[in-house]
């Protein structure tokens, strides 16, 4: 039974997704979800998320509600990552079901295996942010669309609208734009759609009651949040959804990635299976057009990559919603190859993985410290030098065996090797992630503060641009942080009248520092000693990690004092 095989894939993958979910500490981005969720419980306000005591309405509420529910049951904990992990396993299951609807049961099982063991998907599944729930919503919406086209009836149609509504509550209008774009492009690509057929599709989706259901789910929170917080709706619709596309959103809270890096990370996140995508696309082309549904995964990939390639504000992880579609394309290729129906030459199969295997071997033979220094010198000194070579050996040997099995047409054995190699690479990535915790999580600094400093000592935070980076510090210290205003910071409209309560004037830092009873945390100190310009008097460094420092005010008579230069 296909359902049993699909369930087996999910159950086999689950231990990897749930392994060491509490490690490392929440990153800066995760802190922007964890702390508003914690404050929902302390304030009792589940409508307006708060960060450091002030409204924080840059995202819809679902990914605050879910960890808040976990916190209510288990207290503030990193195990709130169960939410994206469960969403990821749900996406694996739905992708397998969708592959079965489109290309047959074997292709569906292969697609589920591919997605479950894609490196970037595995990593993202264990991060507390909104992307994984949106991926589930988009995949579920497209599965319901296919079910409608296959005669699924009103239940499948309502599932389509409910999935989009949930996605909107998770990450905004993208949850509607991306699946709608994929459907339209797939329909137009065959050149056979007429207005009459488009109306038939709309009728099958029960658009009028469907939109009513979508509005009933997604609209109430938006209206209530807008009524409670003046300026929110303008910021949400215009600033967060329109201006952000052109990187014109204010305040600027991210640095866009280059187009080349965006595309490169699309390939990296899909490893090892993304190396088969060129062969999968060529195979699909040579098999012929078929129905628009057969073209849906290719259209899905095209819409995601084209949309974010055009967006000036793109970040590398924005390609994530395309990964289920990549799994569908590659799953179809692998299923057809196992059945002897492949339409591409062996070189398309083995060329890209063989090239990456050779590259991995070269990197294993080169000096790991030299490679890390080229990538980011701040990563040196955390034990990655010892981890880099074994990781490259796993990559090279796994892909090498993968290529040999594909070349000898032992496709099922190759899939098993590819999945096992991906799991081993993920373990290496998790170990590296844990070792680098001080570079991206405030948990180590919070432990130092708890051990060495009184809870009554004022804690000040300085960031050059993103004040919300304090979220993780708030979460781990369980205290309010006094924020220093970033230079040139422009508030969103919902905070325009609250800047005076959001930030403290520099005079308060100076007053506390002269009392020798203050802490300052900063995230952007380029070199040791540069922190001296941030404080108005003598200090001692309690912690340093990369560009992060934790400073404490001291008397000039104390030992181990570093004075302002």
**DSSP letters along 122-184, please?**
HHHTTS-STHHHHHHHHHHHHHHHHHHHTT-HHHHHHHHHHHHHHHHHHHTTHHHHHHHHHHH
Report how far residue 480's alpha carbon sits from residue 232's, in angstroms, rounded to the nearest whole number.
24
CA angle 429, 430, 434 (to 5 degrees): 115
Tell me the three state secondary structure of residue 76: coil
Q: Would you state the torsion angle of the CA atoms of residues 357, 363, 365, 368, taken in this order, to the nearest 10 degrees?
A: -150
Please count the CA atoms within 13 angstroms of the CA of 415 that sit on its side-chain side. 23
> How far apart (Å, rounded) are the C-alpha atoms in residues 67 and 78?
9
Reduce the DSSP state of residue 463 to 3 states and report it: coil
Find, among 125, 126, 128, the residue nearest to 136 by Cα.
Answer: 125
Strand partners, 504: 484
Q: Do 526 and 490 meet the contact criterion of CB atoms below 8 Å apart? A: no
Upstream peptide bond of 24 is cis (omega within 30 degrees of 0): yes
Q: State how far the Cα of 91 lies from the Cα of 98, in Å rounded to an integer.
A: 10
Burial profile 90-110: b = 16 or more Cβ within 10 angstroms, e = fewer = bbbbbbbbbbbbbbbbbbbbb
538: its two tokens: 């003598």
Give the integer Cα–Cα distance in Å for 435 and 317.
Answer: 22
- Phi and psi of 553, rounded to 5°? -70, 140
3-state SS record for 56-74? CCCCCCHHHHHHHHHHHHH
Show the beta-strand stretches assigned E in 217-299: none
d(CA 184, CA 190): 11
Q: What is the pTM of this model?
A: 0.95
CB atoms near residue 455 (< 10 Å): 10
Question: pLDDT in tens for each of the 565 residues of the chain?
Answer: 678 999 999 999 999 999 999 999 999 999 999 999 999 999 999 999 999 999 999 999 999 999 999 999 999 999 999 999 999 999 999 999 999 999 999 999 999 999 999 999 999 999 999 999 999 999 999 999 999 999 888 999 999 999 999 999 999 999 999 999 999 999 888 765 566 666 777 788 999 999 999 999 999 999 999 999 999 999 999 999 999 999 888 887 778 999 999 999 999 999 999 999 999 999 999 887 677 889 999 999 999 999 999 999 999 999 999 999 999 999 999 999 999 998 899 899 899 999 999 999 998 888 777 777 777 777 888 888 889 899 999 999 999 999 999 999 999 999 999 999 999 999 999 999 999 999 999 999 999 999 999 989 999 999 877 889 999 999 999 999 999 988 888 899 999 999 999 999 999 999 999 999 899 999 989 889 999 999 999 999 999 999 999 999 997 766 445 544 3
């Amino acid at each position: 039974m296909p359902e049993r095989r699909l369930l087996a894939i999910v159950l086999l993958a689950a231990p990897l997704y749930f392994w060491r979910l509490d490690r490392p500490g929440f990153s800066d981005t995760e802190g922007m979800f964890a702390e508003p969720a914690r404050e929902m419980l302390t304030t009792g306000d589940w409508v307006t998320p708060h960060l450091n005591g002030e409204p924080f309405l840059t995202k819809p509420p679902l990914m605050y509600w879910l960890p808040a529910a976990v916190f209510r049951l288990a207290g503030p904990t990193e195990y709130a990552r169960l939410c994206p992990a469960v969403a990821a396993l749900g996406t694996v299951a739905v992708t397998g079901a969708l592959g079965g609807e489109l290309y047959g049961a074997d292709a569906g099982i292969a697609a589920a295996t591919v997605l479950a063991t894609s490196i970037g998907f595995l990593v993202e599944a264990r991060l507390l942010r909104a992307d994984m729930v949106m991926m589930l919503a988009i995949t579920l919406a497209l599965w319901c669309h296919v079910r409608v086209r296959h005669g699924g009836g009103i239940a499948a149609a309502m599932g389509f609208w409910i999935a989009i509504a949930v996605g909107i509550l998770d990450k905004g209008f993208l949850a509607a734009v991306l699946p709608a774009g994929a459907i339209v492009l797939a329909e137009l690509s065959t050149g056979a759609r007429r207005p009459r057929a488009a109306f038939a599709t709309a009728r099958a989706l029960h658009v009028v009651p469907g939109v009513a259901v979508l509005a009933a789910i997604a609209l109430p929170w938006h209206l209530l949040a807008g009524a409670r917080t003046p300026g929110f709706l303008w910021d949400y619709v215009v600033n967060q959804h329109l201006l952000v596309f052109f990187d014109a959103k204010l305040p600027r809270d991210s640095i866009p990635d280059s187009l080349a890096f965006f595309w490169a990370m699309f390939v990296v996140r899909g490893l090892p299976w993304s190396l088969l995508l060129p062969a999968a696309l060529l195979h699909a082309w040579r098999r012929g057009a078929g129905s628009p549904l057969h073209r849906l995964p290719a259209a899905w990939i095209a819409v995601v990559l084209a949309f974010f390639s055009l967006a000036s504000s793109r970040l590398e992880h924005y390609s994530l919603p395309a990964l289920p579609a990549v799994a569908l394309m590659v799953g179809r290729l692998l299923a057809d190859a196992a059945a002897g129906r492949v339409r591409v030459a062996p070189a398309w199969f083995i060329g890209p993985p063989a090239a990456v295997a050779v590259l991995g071997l070269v990197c294993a033979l080169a000096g790991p410290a030299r490679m890390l220094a080229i990538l980011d010198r701040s990563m040196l000194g955390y034990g990655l030098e010892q981890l880099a070579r074994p990781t490259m050996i796993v990559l090279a040997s796994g892909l090498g065996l993968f290529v040999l099995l594909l070349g000898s047409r032992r496709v099922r054995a190759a899939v098993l090797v590819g999945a096992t190699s991906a799991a081993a690479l993920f373990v290496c990535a998790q170990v590296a992630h844990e070792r680098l915790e001080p570079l991206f999580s405030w948990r180590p600094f919070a432990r130092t503060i708890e051990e060495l400093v009184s809870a009554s000592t004022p804690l000040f935070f300085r960031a050059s641009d993103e004040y919300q980076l304090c979220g993780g510090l708030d979460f781990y210290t369980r205290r309010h942080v006094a924020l220093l205003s970033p230079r040139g910071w422009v508030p969103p409209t919902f905070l325009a009248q609250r800047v005076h309560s959001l930030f403290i004037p520099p005079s308060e830092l100076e007053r506390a520092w002269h009392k020798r009873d203050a802490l300052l945390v900063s995230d952007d100190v380029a070199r040791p000693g540069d922190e001296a310009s941030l404080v108005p008097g003598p200090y001692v460094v309690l912690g340093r990690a990369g560009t992060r420092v934790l400073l404490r005010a001291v008397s000039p008579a104390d030992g181990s004092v570093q004075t302002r230069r």
